[in-house]
Structure 1
Amino acid sequence: MPEYGPRPVERELPTEEARDLLALARDLAQREVEPAAAEGERTGTFPRETFALLSRSGLLGLPYPEEYGGGGQPHEVYLQVLEELAAARLTVGLGTSVHSLACHGLAHFGTKEQRAEHLPAMLGGELLGAYCLSEPASGSDAAALRTRAVRDGDDWLLSGTKAWITHAGIADFYTVLARTGEDGPRGITAFLVPGDAEGLSAAPPERKMGLNGSPTAQLHLDGVRVPDSRRLGEVGQGFSVALSSLDGGRLGIAACAIGVAQAAMDEALAYTAGREQFGRPISDFQGLRFMLADMGTQIEAGRALYLAAARRHDAGQPFSRQAAMAKLFCTDAAMRVTTDAVQLLGGYGYTADFSAERSMREAKVLQIVEGTNQIQRMVIARHLAGPESSR
């Protein structure tokens, strides 16, 4: 089985500090993440100690301000770190992205007092977050959520069920979207809920085809009491919080997808260079070389697309359309690349002795999370052609 190692990827990094951060992320991925990945996914073991190490190393809060314990790094840098982590183990890369998503509401919509009180521990205190928008019935129709928050003096009582929650049951805090008013997007408010809140419980984790080390479960809220001081943004502003968070989250998924694809191609390259048939390496055969060329092209194109969207974000320019495009293209590319990697390894690609089969199973979920790729196409089309006609 080929060893994981530094990959011949030309990185576009703006500063020496950014280059050092990426070198740190790659070193941690090689030493701490990848060696335990196969066994951890086989046994469904969540690597909590790895996230604690990432927190101590300053890698869990990269895109957030230094004054609150973050790394103060642009998304252009943060996303490339995510790619490195996901290449070693998607559970870690995706978990880092989800944690960042859970911090977004407080960082961008919280008051100065809220940020000072909670953000340092969330970014550098070895805490882990989860983001709670989806529900069993609403699915991709986020504006139709039914979890309700009712005012009770200086507190809110939250009741309902969230679905498909990464880190459910193990997170230290949850960013929860709940209905506080009328139906539709204007009646939703965001809350920061402690992981040990009374009335909060998680169902048994879902049984998934991949990403087994990352727990995904329903989260039940049974009259969970949350003080108004933990409300994020104004009452009724929650849908804006959600949409703002999702744009960045989609770029995180895009970066993770390219990491998974790159790791699969690296394994295919190592295997085809070392496997001989008819007296020469199978990487000499034109049919296989063309497959490798297509894989590399899709990876490079996907990386360029997510980085272009990240630079728009960093420049303060609108990037919703570009984020949807990056999520769509990169995750579809990851599915194609990992499928081809399995094919290139032949029968070995279908066994658990090589990571290509795991990469293929894990790539599938990236086409679903943070809005399915069908939803991404709807978002992109609306940006290009305008809203659908009501006729």
Structure 2
Amino acid sequence: MDADTFAQFTDQLKRYVRERLMPAEEQVLEDDAIPPDLLGEMRDMGLFGLTMPEEYGGSGMNVPQYIETIRVLSYALPAYRSITSINLGMVCSALKNAGTEEQKSEWLPRLAAGEIACFGLTEPGSGSDSAAMATTAKRDGGHYVLNGSKRYITNAPHAKLGLIMARTNPESMPKNAHVSAFLVDMETDGITVGKPDKKMGQRGSHIADIYFDDVRVPADALLGGEEGRGFATAMQSLDNGRLSIGAASCGYARRILDTALRYSGERKAFGETIGNFQLIQAMLADSQAELYAAECMLRDAAAKANKGKAIIEAASAKMFASEMCNRVADRCVQIHGGAGYLAEYEAERFYRDSRIYTIYEGTTQILQLVIAKNMLRDFASGAAA
């Protein structure tokens, strides 16, 4: 997408966020669901196909454009980003990077049109530890037979496509070559999706378990037609996923800080607005400085990811931005004082909604390991600056 078209699109999206998505937030919170009419509007705006190539019905956005779009969208309730994010980030990235032409032709237009996808890596006993993955895919003639379960899968209750990681070799192998990726039609016999989990926050966004009981998928559902590349594909896709969470953290933190600023200018104590108190100002200033730093990191990491791998940068941006958003949300509650603990004020919801950002797409602790291991490897190979 050229720069002028993208600028027009983001202006339109900003208006849509404030005029349509934000006014509907109370309904989303009450119903724990995005209204169907809004989902239809989001599909019509192309929000499910931002990263799909134009020849497959998408907008063909590059990484910086996609990440900026997510940041703008994330000023509103997190559910709006969540419903689109798996399509745009991990699944689209995996298909573009590793899918066969037949797989791209079948799935990318459907995703661009708004069919919802999910990404199945995490299991009850296996999250970051893929060696412990228990879901299996055994070859049976022209099919693979999947058995096992997946845990905490975003959009599972709504998904038409699942990018599912499964063990195709019973033994753990170097570089996780025992893990393969499959493009699974979620209406296939033998698939059961559990009841959506009740969560701390992020109402309107749904996660659930997926169970596979002798699920037969055609052999051409194997992503890229090659066994043993599933984990590598997942890891490549996670760069985009982590940048998306960084963008969500920055967009939501801006909303949170604006709310804190508004309250600071309205609430009075000791005869004046609390925004005149220096310790309140310190919390506002710290929040602005950290948010600015996160936004700069995000733009730099997205630009580098657009040119190739950006493992350290994407992990660093996600780690810093998500922790920053948590701190800004905490300060917003503190600035509200007792009111910040009440559900009638947005500060309380912001605090709960933000907490997940330091957990999914790699916890802060896992990202610390990712960053350090890649730093040490690069230094040892002489690639360090």
Question: Given the two structures, how large is their TM-score scaled by the length of structure 2?
Answer: 0.93
Gaps of 5+ in 1: 1-12
Q: Distance in 2 between matches of 1:129 and 1:381?
A: 32
Q: Is the CA contact (8 Å cut-off) linking 2:52 and 2:108 kept in structure 1?
A: no
Residue 231 in structure 1 maps to residue 251 in structure 2: no
- Give, in angstroms, the shift of residue 385 of structure 1: 2.4
Q: Is the CA contact (8 Å cut-off) linking 2:136 and 2:148 kept in structure 1?
A: yes
Give 1:213's aligned residue.
Answer: 204
- Give, in angstroms, the shift of residue 315 of structure 1: 2.0
Q: Distance in 1 between matches of 2:37 and 2:315?
A: 32
Q: Which residues of 2 match residues 253-332 of structure 1 at below 5 A?
A: 253-316=245-308, 318-332=309-323
Give 2:122's aligned residue.
Answer: 134
Q: Would the alpha carbon gap of residues 315 and 186 (structure 1) be closer, same or farther in structure 2, given more than 3 Å must change? A: same
Residue 50 in structure 1 maps to residue 42 in structure 2: no
Match of 1:165 among 142, 148, 153: 153
Give 1:333's aligned residue.
Answer: 324
- Give, in angstroms, the shift of residue 110 of structure 1: 0.8
Sequence identity percentage: 35
Q: Which residues of 2 match residues 72-87 of structure 1 at below 5 A?
A: 72-87=60-75
Q: Distance in 2 between matches of 1:285 and 1:385?
A: 46
Question: What is the DSSP-based 3-state SS (H/G/I as helix, E as strand, rest coil) of the residue aligned with 2:199?
Answer: coil
Which piece of structure 1 moves more, 40-49 or 212-221? 40-49
Question: What is the DSSP-based 3-state SS (H/G/I as helix, E as strand, rest coil) of the residue aligned with 1:251?
Answer: helix
Residue 16 in structure 1 maps to residue 8 in structure 2: no
Give 1:175's aligned residue.
Answer: 163
Q: C-alpha deviations, 1:355-381, integer Å up to 9, x for none?
A: 221111111111110111100000011
Q: Is the CA contact (8 Å cut-off) linking 1:143 and 1:239 kept in structure 2?
A: no
Match of 1:384 among 368, 375, 385: 375
One-letter code aligned to 2:91: A
Q: Distance in 2 between matches of 1:74 and 1:115?
A: 18
Q: Is the CA contact (8 Å cut-off) linking 1:109 and 1:232 kept in structure 2?
A: yes
Q: Distance in 2 between matches of 1:46 and 1:216?
A: 14
Q: Distance in 2 between matches of 1:168 and 1:48?
A: 17
Residue 200 in structure 1 maps to residue 188 in structure 2: no
Match of 2:55 among 55, 59, 67: 67
Q: Distance in 2 between matches of 1:379 and 1:262?
A: 27
- Give, in angstroms, the shift of residue 194 of structure 1: 1.0
- Give, in angstroms, the shift of residue 94 of structure 1: 2.6
Q: Distance in 2 between matches of 1:351 and 1:115?
A: 48
Size of the aligned set, in residue pairs, is 374
Question: What is the DSSP-based 3-state SS (H/G/I as helix, E as strand, rest coil) of the residue aligned with 2:215?
Answer: strand
Q: C-alpha deviations, 1:42-61, integer Å up to 9, x for none?
A: 44224454343222211222
TM-align CA RMSD: 1.8
Give 1:5's aligned residue.
Answer: none
One-letter code aligned to 2:180: T
Q: C-alpha deviations, 1:11-66, integer Å up to 9, x for none?
A: xx981112112112212212222122234224422445434322221122212211
Q: Distance in 1 between matches of 2:38 and 2:192?
A: 24
Q: Would the alpha carbon gap of residues 51 and 228 (structure 1) be closer, same or farther in structure 2, given more than 3 Å must change? A: farther
Q: Would the alpha carbon gap of residues 48 and 156 (structure 1) be closer, same or farther in structure 2, given more than 3 Å must change? A: farther
One-letter code aligned to 1:267: T
Q: Would the alpha carbon gap of residues 374 and 204 (structure 1) be closer, same or farther in structure 2, given more than 3 Å must change? A: same
Question: What is the DSSP-based 3-state SS (H/G/I as helix, E as strand, rest coil) of the residue aligned with 2:22?
Answer: helix
Gaps of 5+ in 2: 379-385
